[in-house]
């Protein structure tokens, strides 16, 4: 085991980023055009990074498996984006946003990264507004804010219930401008299937054209992975169908450390599962908790319709247990509270697998018009899916996997331990600790892409001035291409009896049961026995039809699910190793008498980073100690 | 519920295609339309066949990836609903459903129900942005935006770029998509400096790929986000103004 160095600059936390920007090497404007940079993914992080690096004058190649960069799953973020503007005059500051985010992450994030995130949050709002993102406005024409979980100030900027969409379109449009100027080359419907290393540093990638199956190599001075999260390891999650771990997992297999894989967020407000053919879960924005009240019937045997249950027989359990934060308690806390209600058999709906989110008080107080203006599109989406009108009957919600805090280990410069390989946005692990606060994902994706990576990447590139990228006919590329091709051919040749989805569904059931909201030693050990067995069956018995040289969604899925198996095993090992409860990682062995997460700050205040050692060989465990010089470690309380 | 599907199958770009029939038995009315296709596809794979390829991703009606013609209507005939948000309870047991890809010369079929929508990216690249580099933006509250302008801009910006408007149009016109982006940017104070140059560039790029608008209004009917054709009127006005504003350029054409 080695101790990792995050390369956090010295000095007071307020000065670290400023000083670091001065200390880093620069690439002069005329030299920037001598560099090639590859970016994988076009969500908030990837698109903003590609646009910004293109504006600076680098030659950028950007790849997406979608038909257009605008489809990335950042688009589905609903509620908003945090910034420490203090426009509402309610006591916000950079320091408070930093403090709330470290606390919200249950003291398992790196202080210096979080402070930087809070610091650039204001610039993000300025940048996006200048780009024409249509944020919500007050009547005077100034920007409006709302509240989100885990904060007692209103610092969330929003564009109706489509904030992610509007921010992504802003970044996409900035990217489109660079494409039209020729600074960025866009490759759509292209999936990255291998990272290529030469003499220990990242020098390129191998991608597959999804339309004709052609495999090609691309070489560069640096490779940036902005490929999002991996919650589809649970099969059912709120992530888009194609979200996967393949890009970061291929990098992991090439030597990049995977940090805190077990930190996944279960979001409290999703629409409950209705039947076994369900393909994915749909989120209802956390912003709804501004005006909705969460409750279950006091009597577990109550079978009356929601509106027939009188006030006195309802348990508004979040308001009862956490009076100061109430319905805006953070996600991990709210999700576990909902799970406890359902475990006590007080769940609602036909499968008794939900809790109510009730807007009747807000509608009576503010009028239907106001509620419609705030959440109209969410109410409509709910009605489409459930055939129930939330203006008349309370919504039913249930916790579902939503975000992965874990990801590739990166240092303060967002570079993995592999020189020249960067990970930004949800693909890295750095800013959210063990639990992400609402409206912070958009902030992090854009911070990394617009304001952090464009500075830090120059510090690495400066050393490679006038060195040409490794040519793509070099043997390292040819070997990687053969590896990719061999793997695809193997998947097609098994010709077993079970579909990819049937394996994925079974893997998801194991993961949600043993590595979901609550984890235990025996459960995780059971999962660690079941996952490799299922994986072995997959490689013997999966059936992938179609061919390699054509559009083949089954083949795409098969490659992704194969990587999920390996990730799932690592997640369970990480969860087993971490003998404490923190944020989204709840070990039943470690809880307070009231059932809250109980951390171990003596032995567990570290980042776990795992090093690939080969197929079917356990990863080596490395640690990055976390030091808290500014925020005092405390039992999180939202009471 | 039991259904019969008549689905367009095509092996690749430029290849001949044909309709084939499939039985979809035992479908839950609570399934979404795409979940119904998932079930059919899983059965096809079990039988050793190649599944029906279709584009999809978020399944929340926001990414704009999905979209097929269902009984001749883009995204089906439920108003304001993307294909992924259409649920089988809107159909009847025993129904026969015809499923086709978007049909437009500017968007050729790539495989089965998948089409090439990259012309939409080309239209945005022509001018669907505000030219501000990262960094150096003024404080956000230094640019006040009247609430009605912000609201109208947001109404237009809600477009998900699915191309149903083009599929619905008898002329395969791209006016609703293009005008929605123009209205989003042209209604905001930030969008004024490039307003007319943007309008000309986007409209003329649009015309390279798509047909002309003859005011059928099918696009608004088909739009899963109910984007208004008022935006087209605004675009036409701005286009004419732009031509007068830049007479030197107009004279060269």
pLDDT confidence of residue B249: 60
Residues B8 and B98 in one domain: yes
Considering the candidates A116, A250, A331, A436, report the single residue annotated as catalytic.
A331
The minimum CA-CA distance between A134 and chain B, rounded to whole Å, is 6
Residue A212's closest chain B neighbor by CA? Answer: B12
Residues B147 and B244 in one domain: yes
Q: Assign 3-state DSSP to chain B and report helix, strand, coil percentages, each to 5.
A: 40, 15, 45
pLDDT confidence of residue A101: 96
pLDDT confidence of residue A286: 83
- Cα(B96)–Cα(B5) distance, integer angstroms: 6
Q: A238, A241, A558: which to substitute to probe chain B, counting the most B Cβ within 10 Å?
A: A241
Do A509 and A530 contact (CB within 8 A), yes or no? no
pLDDT confidence of residue A1: 67
Residues B20 and B127 in one domain: no
Chain B CB contacts of A142 below 8 Å: 141, 144
Do B182 and B235 contact (CB within 8 A), yes or no? yes
Last residue of a domain, one of B111, B138, B160: B111
Tell me which residue in A76, A275, A385 faces B62 most closely, judged by beta carbons. Answer: A76
Residue A283's closest chain B neighbor by CA? Answer: B60
| A135-142, Cβ contacts within 8 angstroms, sequence gap of 24 or more | A135/A159, A135/A166, A135/B140, A135/B150, A136/A160, A136/B150, A137/B145, A137/B146, A137/B147, A137/B150, A138/B147, A139/B147, A140/B144, A141/B144, A141/B145, A141/B146, A141/B147, A141/B150, A142/A87, A142/B141, A142/B144
Residues B98 and B151 in one domain: no
Tokens (6 digits) for B219: 């696009």
Average pLDDT of the residues in A327-345: 91
Q: Find residues 141-180 of chain B whose CB sits inside 8 Å of chain A.
A: 141, 143-147, 150, 153-154, 157-158, 160-161
Q: At residue B251, does pLDDT exceed 60?
A: no
Contact criterion met (CB < 8 Å) for B58 and A73: yes
Tell me which residue in A48, A75, A136 faces B63 most closely, judged by beta carbons. Answer: A75
CATH code for the domain of B38: 3.10.20.30
- Better-predicted residue by pLDDT, B51 or B247: B51
| pLDDT tens readout for residues A100-128 | 999 999 999 999 999 999 999 999 999 99
Residues B232 and B133 in one domain: yes
Give burial (CB, 10 Å; 0-12/13-18/19+) of B92.
exposed
Give burial (CB, 10 Å; 0-12/13-18/19+) of B154.
buried
B197/A contact by beta carbon, under 8 A: no
Using only C-alpha atoms, chain A has a radius of gyration, in whole angstroms, of 24
Residues B123 and B219 in one domain: yes
Using only C-alpha atoms, chain B has a radius of gyration, in whole angstroms, of 21
Contact criterion met (CB < 8 Å) for B121 and A87: no
Q: At residue A450, does pLDDT exceed 80?
A: yes
Please state, rounded to an integer, the average pLDDT across all residues of chain A: 96
Chain A CB contacts of B132 below 8 Å: 127, 130-131, 174
Q: A129, A282, A378: which to substitute to probe chain B, counting the most B Cβ within 10 Å?
A: A129
Domain boundaries defined on chain A: 267-401, 475-625
Contact criterion met (CB < 8 Å) for A501 and B63: no
Last residue of a domain, one of B94, B111, B128: B111
B216/A contact by beta carbon, under 8 A: no
Residues B87 and B160 in one domain: no
DSSP A22: H
Q: Find residues 93-112 of chain B whose CB sits inside 8 Å of chain A.
A: 110-111
Size of interface A-B (CB pairs under 8 A): 224
- Residue A160 is a catalytic residue: no
Residues B98 and B180 in one domain: no
Query: By residue range, what is the domain housing residue B99?
Result: 3-111
Chain B CB contacts of A126 below 8 Å: 137-140
Categorize the per-residue pLDDT at B253 as very low, low, confident or very high, splitting at 50, 70 and 90: very low
- Cα(B1)–Cα(A277) distance, integer angstroms: 14
- Cα(B44)–Cα(B29) distance, integer angstroms: 21
Residues B44 and B58 in one domain: yes
Q: Assign 3-state DSSP to chain A and report helix, strand, coil percentages, each to 5.
A: 40, 15, 40
| pLDDT tens readout for residues B35-49 | 999 999 999 999 999
- Cα(A23)–Cα(A281) distance, integer angstroms: 46
What domain count does chain B have? 2
Categorize the per-residue pLDDT at B247 as very low, low, confident or very high, splitting at 50, 70 and 90: low
Q: At residue A277, does pLDDT exceed 90?
A: no
Last residue of a domain, one of B88, B111, B134: B111
- Give me the sign of the Cα torsion angle B85, B90, B94, B95: negative
Architecture per CATH, A267-401: Alpha-Beta Complex (3.90)
Tell me which residue in A162, A242, A545 faces B50 most closely, judged by beta carbons. Answer: A545
- Cα(A72)–Cα(A136) distance, integer angstroms: 23
| pLDDT tens readout for residues A455-489 | 999 999 999 999 999 999 999 999 999 999 999 99
| pLDDT tens readout for residues A596-628 | 899 999 999 999 999 999 999 999 999 999 999
Q: Strand B17-24 relative to strand B3-10: parallel, antiparallel, unpaired? A: antiparallel
Residues B87 and B131 in one domain: no
| pLDDT tens readout for residues A222-237 | 999 999 999 999 999 9
CATH topology of domain A475-625: Methane Monooxygenase Hydroxylase; Chain G, domain 1 (1.20.58)
| pLDDT tens readout for residues B153-179 | 999 999 999 999 999 999 999 999 999
Residue B226's closest chain A neighbor by CA? Answer: A377
Chain B CB contacts of A87 below 8 Å: 141
Cα angle, residue A229 at apex, residues A214 and A431 outer, rounded to 5°:
135
Contact criterion met (CB < 8 Å) for A384 and B81: yes
- Cα(A557)–Cα(A569) distance, integer angstroms: 19
- Cα(B223)–Cα(B75) distance, integer angstroms: 8
Tell me which residue in A70, A128, A274 faces B30 most closely, judged by beta carbons. Answer: A274
Residue A180's closest chain B neighbor by CA? Answer: B125
Residues B208 and B232 in one domain: yes
Residues B98 and B125 in one domain: no
Please state, rounded to an integer, the average pLDDT across all residues of chain B: 96
């Amino acid at each position: 085991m080695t101790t990792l160095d995050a390369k956090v600059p010295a000095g007071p936390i307020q000065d670290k980023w400023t000083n670091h920007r001065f200390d880093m090497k620069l690439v002069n404007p005329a030299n920037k055009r001598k560099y090639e940079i590859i970016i994988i993914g076009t969500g908030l992080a990837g698109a903003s990074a590609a646009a910004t690096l293109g504006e600076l004058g680098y030659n950028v190649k950007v790849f997406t498996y979608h038909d257009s960069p605008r489809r990335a799953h950042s688009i589905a973020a609903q509620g908003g984006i945090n910034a420490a503007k203090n426009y509402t005059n309610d006591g916000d500051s950079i320091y408070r946003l930093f403090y709330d985010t470290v606390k919200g992450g249950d003291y398992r994030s790196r202080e210096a990264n979080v402070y930087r995130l809070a610091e650039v949050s204001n610039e993000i709002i300025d940048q996006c507004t200048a780009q024409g993102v249509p944020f919500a406005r007050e009547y005077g024409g100034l920007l409006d804010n709302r509240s989100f979980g885990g904060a007692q100030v209103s610092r969330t900027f929003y564009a109706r219930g489509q904030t992610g969409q509007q921010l992504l379109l802003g970044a996409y449009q900035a990217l489109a401008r660079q494409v039209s100027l020729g600074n960025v080359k866009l490759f759509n419907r292209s999936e990255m299937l291998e990272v290529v290393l030469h003499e220990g540093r990242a020098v390129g990638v191998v991608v597959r054209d999804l339309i004709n199956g052609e495999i090609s190599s691309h070489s560069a001075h640096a490779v940036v992975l902005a490929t999002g999260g991996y919650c589809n390891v649970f099969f059912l999650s709120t992530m888009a169908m194609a979200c996967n771990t393949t890009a970061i997992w291929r990098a992991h297999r090439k030597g990049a450390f995977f940090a805190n894989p077990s930190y996944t967020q279960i979001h409290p407000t999703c629409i409950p599962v209705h039947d076994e053919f369900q393909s994915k879960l749909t989120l209802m924005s956390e912003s709804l908790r501004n005006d909705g009240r969460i409750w279950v019937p006091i009597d577990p045997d109550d079978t009356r319709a929601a509106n027939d249950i009188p006030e006195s027989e309802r348990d508004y359990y979040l308001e009862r247990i956490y009076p100061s934060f109430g319905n805006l308690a953070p996600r991990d806390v709210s999700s576990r509270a909902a799970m406890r209600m359902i475990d006590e058999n007080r769940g609602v709906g036909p499968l008794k697998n939900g809790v109510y989110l009730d807007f009747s008080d807000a509608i009576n107080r503010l009028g239907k018009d106001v509620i419609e203006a705030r959440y109209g599109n969410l109410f409509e989406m709910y009605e489409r899916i459930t055939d129930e009108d939330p203006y008349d009957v309370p919504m039913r919600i249930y916790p579902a996997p939503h975000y992965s805090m874990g990801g590739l280990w990166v240092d303060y410069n967002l570079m993995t331990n592999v020189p020249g390989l960067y990970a930004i946005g949800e693909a890295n692990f750095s800013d959210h600790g063990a639990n992400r606060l609402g409206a912070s994902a958009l902030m992090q994706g854009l911070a990394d892409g617009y304001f952090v990576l464009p500075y830090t990447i120059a510090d690495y590139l400066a050393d490679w001035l006038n060195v040409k990228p490794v040519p793509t006919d070099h043997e390292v590329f040819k070997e990687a291409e053969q590896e990719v091709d061999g793997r695809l051919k193997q998947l097609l040749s098994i010709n077993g009896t079970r579909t990819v989805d049937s394996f994925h569904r079974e893997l998801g059931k194991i993961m949600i049961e043993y590595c979901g909201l609550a984890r235990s030693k025996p459960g995780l050990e059971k999962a660690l026995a079941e996952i490799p067995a299922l994986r072995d069956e997959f490689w013997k018995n999966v059936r992938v039809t179609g061919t390699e040289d054509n559009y083949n969604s089954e083949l795409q899925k098969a490659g992704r699910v194969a990587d999920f198996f390996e990730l799932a095993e690592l997640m369970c090992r990480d969860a087993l190793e971490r003998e404490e409860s923190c944020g989204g990682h709840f070990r039943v062995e470690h809880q307070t008498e009231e059932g809250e997460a109980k951390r171990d700050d003596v032995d567990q205040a570290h980042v776990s980073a795992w090093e690939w050692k080969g197929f079917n060989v356990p990863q080596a465990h490395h640690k990055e100690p976390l030091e808290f010089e500014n925020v005092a470690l405390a039992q999180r309380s939202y009471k | 519920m039991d259904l019969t599907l008549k689905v367009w199958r095509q092996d690749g770009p430029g290849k001949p295609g044909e309709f084939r029939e499939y039985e979809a038995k035992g479908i839950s009315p609570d399934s979404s339309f795409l979940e119904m296709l998932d079930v059919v596809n899983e059965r096809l794979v079990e039988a050793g066949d190649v599944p029906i390829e279709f584009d999809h991703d978020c399944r929340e009606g926001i990414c704009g990836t999905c979209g097929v013609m269902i009984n001749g209507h883009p995204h089906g005939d439920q108003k304001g609903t993307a294909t992924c948000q259409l649920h089988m309870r809107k159909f009847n047991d025993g129904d026969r459903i015809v499923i086709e890809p978007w049909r437009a010369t500017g968007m050729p079929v790539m495989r089965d129900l998948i089409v090439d929508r990259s012309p939409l990216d080309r239209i945005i690249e022509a001018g669907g942005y505000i030219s501000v580099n990262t960094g150096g933006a003024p404080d956000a509250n230094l640019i006040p935006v009247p609430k009605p302008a912000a609201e109208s801009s947001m109404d237009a910006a809600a477009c998900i770029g699915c191309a149903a408007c083009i599929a619905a149009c008898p002329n395969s016109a791209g006016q609703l998509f293009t005008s929605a982006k123009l209205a989003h940017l042209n209604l905001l104070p930030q969008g004024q400096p490039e307003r007319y140059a943007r309008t000309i560039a986007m409209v003329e790029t649009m015309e390279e790929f798509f047909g002309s608008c003859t005011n059928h209004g099918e696009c608004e009917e088909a739009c899963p986000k109910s984007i208004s054709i008022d935006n087209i009127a605004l675009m036409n006005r701005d286009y004419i103004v732009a031509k007068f504003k830049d007479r030197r350029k107009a004279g060269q054409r």
